[in-house]
């Protein structure tokens, strides 16, 4: 149990750095593949919510300079960003599907 608390404490101390790295990775991957970026965004914001929950459980909080988020607002922001990421992945997937359907099929490779 003590070992788990030490791990959570070290994660919380480094949370801003991990969040910045995560945001940069999600944005970078999204530039090359919108579907993968959207899915990774949902995973990232879910992880932020879990780690943030640990911060609230230990009596801390999450916020920006001069403003501390309530737990509900924090979960709402994480949910909003997760929903945005999921919607981005969905729209990229539907666009890719429409493009594949619109491309002409090459039937010249079939045996006659």
CA distance 40 to 4: 25
Instruction: List Cβ neighbours of 75 (8 Å cut-off, separation of 6 or more).
Output: 49, 52
Domain residue limits at 70: 39-102
> Is 27 part of a structural domain of the chain?
no
More confident call, 1 vs 61: 61
pTM above 0.75, yes or no: no
How many domains does the chain fold into?
A: 1
7-16, 30-39, 89-98: range with lowest mean pLDDT: 7-16
| Confidence check: pLDDT of 99 > 70 | yes
What are the pLDDT digits (tens) for 15-50?
677 778 888 888 888 888 989 999 999 999 998 898
> Is 81 part of a structural domain of the chain?
yes
Q: Do the Cβ atoms of 33 and 76 come closer than 8 Å?
A: no
User: Residue 2 has what pLDDT?
Assistant: 57
> Is 30 part of a structural domain of the chain?
no
> Is 47 part of a structural domain of the chain?
yes
> Is 5 part of a structural domain of the chain?
no
Letter string b/e over residues 63-96, b meaning 16 or more CB atoms within 10 A of that residue's CB: eeeeeebeeeebeebbeebbeebeebbeebeeee
């Amino acid at each position: 149990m003590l070992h788990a608390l030490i791990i959570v404490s070290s994660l919380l101390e480094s949370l801003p750095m991990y969040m910045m790295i995560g945001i940069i990775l999600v944005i970078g991957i999204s530039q090359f593949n919108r579907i993968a970026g959207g899915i990774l965004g949902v995973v990232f914001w879910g992880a932020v919510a879990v780690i943030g929950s640990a911060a609230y459980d230990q009596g801390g909080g999450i916020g920006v300079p001069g403003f501390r988020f309530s737990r509900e607002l924090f979960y709402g922001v994480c949910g909003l960003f997760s929903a945005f990421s999921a919607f981005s992945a969905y729209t990229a997937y539907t666009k890719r599907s429409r493009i594949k359907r619109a491309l002409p099929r090459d039937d010249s490779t079939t045996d006659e």
